[in-house]
Structure 1
Amino acid sequence: MTGPMIIGLTGSIGMGKSTVAQMFVDDGVPVFDADAAVHILQGPGGALVGEIEVLFPGTTNEKGVDRQKLGSAVLGDPDALKQLEELIHPAVGAMRMEFLAQNENVPMILFDIPLLFEKSGADGVDQVIVVSATEEDQRNRVLRRPGMTPDKFEKIKSLQMPDEEKRKRADFVINTSQPLDETRVQVRNTIEKLKASLA
């Protein structure tokens, strides 16, 4: 294998994926966060703000894209969502290539990709880690988010592959329905196993 091993990190909304990604960073694994890349592209002075305003008038301001307004414009409208994705995906892809070039000499890198299975991103990774939790924990976490409603949560969930299906397809599963220390142990064990597979 030339270049680093590419690990895909995924999990449905509210499963604790960001927390787990940060644990990989803390343990020295470079992480490319697709959501963070989107925030940069849509933030103040972001590369896509102008084009998004043209496609969806009234969804941006001086702070960049108003995510609530853009969400309302595309959620439940497959055509609008497709237009938005066709704009975002190539731009995120370019940022990912840049990240790969910067980290070509490390043993492994992690791509944090929320819709890894839904968008066939699994083809581009060597190993897949799924972050999972109980349905009750997932629901409680998501409904604590500002602006979230049970209806909105169900809508988002309906666009995601069921957790059970993701776990079946995973090379590793990290369960976050337990204390943080125990999750960290799982992360470290997973890193050790991945390093061993490289040896």
Structure 2
Amino acid sequence: MVKVGLTGGIGAGKSEVSRRLAVLGAVIVDADLIAREVVAPGTPGLAAVVAEFGEDVLAADGSLDRPRLGAVVFADPDRLAALNAIVHPLVRDRSAALEAAAGPDAVVVNDVPLLAENKLAPLYDLVVVVDAADETRLRRLVDLRGMTEEDARARMAAQASRADRLAVADLVIDNDGPLDGLEAQVREVWRKLRDYAPRRG
């Protein structure tokens, strides 16, 4: 098994790369998706979030109101740290279970937004960083996701710098341009990930 950490700043296109790697045969362990699962209604995770942040972070149907919680935590590093202390251990345990279920020849790609921030690079055989310029990312967040520029900048500022992410990269996918340039790069990275397995024995 090859354990890969895939990361990139918000708006860099990490999810698109993850989707394309899945099509090629990677086993994807998506931390964002798992982070939603562990705070679904009825879970201990959601109960812990409500105990920390109050009933105001719940939507009318009892689910987590993610935009409301996001507005609180992305403006306050201490509140973000409190949320991470609840969610990250739950995500880590679920990710480990999914990884254990993959076959011995699998390329397991862990889609981890905060890999650099949480100094998780040593957990993986290889780290792949999806990179794009800050202005490109900002434009995508505003144009494609409908964020205000202020909200987009706050979310970008809450993450590691571009330089910090690149410092932990073994492989870099440049996603600064249009999506058509992405496919060849993803296929080349996939080839390298597959080639890595035999050398490890």
TM-score by length of 1: 0.90
Change (3 A) 1:193 1:34: same
User: What is the CA deviation profile of residues 78-132 of structure 1, one whole-angstrom value per residue up to 9, with x for unaligned ones?
Assistant: 3322221111111101101111111142331100111111101112111011101
Aligned to 1:35: 32
Per the alignment, in what secondary structure is the counterpart of residue 135 of structure 2? helix
* C-alpha distance in structure 1 between counterparts of 2:21 and 2:137, whole Å: 21
* C-alpha distance in structure 2 between counterparts of 1:45 and 1:194, whole Å: 38
Read off the aligned partner of 2:14 and give its amino acid letter: K
1:66 corresponds to 2:29 = no
The answer on whether the counterparts of 2:77 and 2:158 sit within 8 Å (CA) in structure 1 is no
* C-alpha distance in structure 2 between counterparts of 1:32 and 1:133, whole Å: 22
How far 1:65 moved relative to its partner?
0.5
RMSD: 1.8
User: After alignment, is 35-44 or 69-78 more displaced?
Assistant: 69-78
1:10 corresponds to 2:21 = no
* C-alpha distance in structure 1 between counterparts of 2:40 and 2:180, whole Å: 33
* C-alpha distance in structure 1 between counterparts of 2:119 and 2:164, whole Å: 14
* C-alpha distance in structure 1 between counterparts of 2:136 and 2:128, whole Å: 19
The answer on whether the counterparts of 1:43 and 1:63 sit within 8 Å (CA) in structure 2 is no
* C-alpha distance in structure 1 between counterparts of 2:43 and 2:144, whole Å: 25
The count of corresponding residues between Structure 1 and Structure 2 is 196
* C-alpha distance in structure 1 between counterparts of 2:74 and 2:106, whole Å: 39
User: After alignment, is 12-21 or 101-110 more displaced?
Assistant: 101-110
Give the unaligned 5+ runs of structure 2: none
TM-score by length of 2: 0.89
Q: Percent identity?
A: 31
Per the alignment, in what secondary structure is the counterpart of residue 116 of structure 1? coil
The answer on whether the counterparts of 2:138 and 2:153 sit within 8 Å (CA) in structure 1 is no
The answer on whether the counterparts of 1:115 and 1:160 sit within 8 Å (CA) in structure 2 is yes
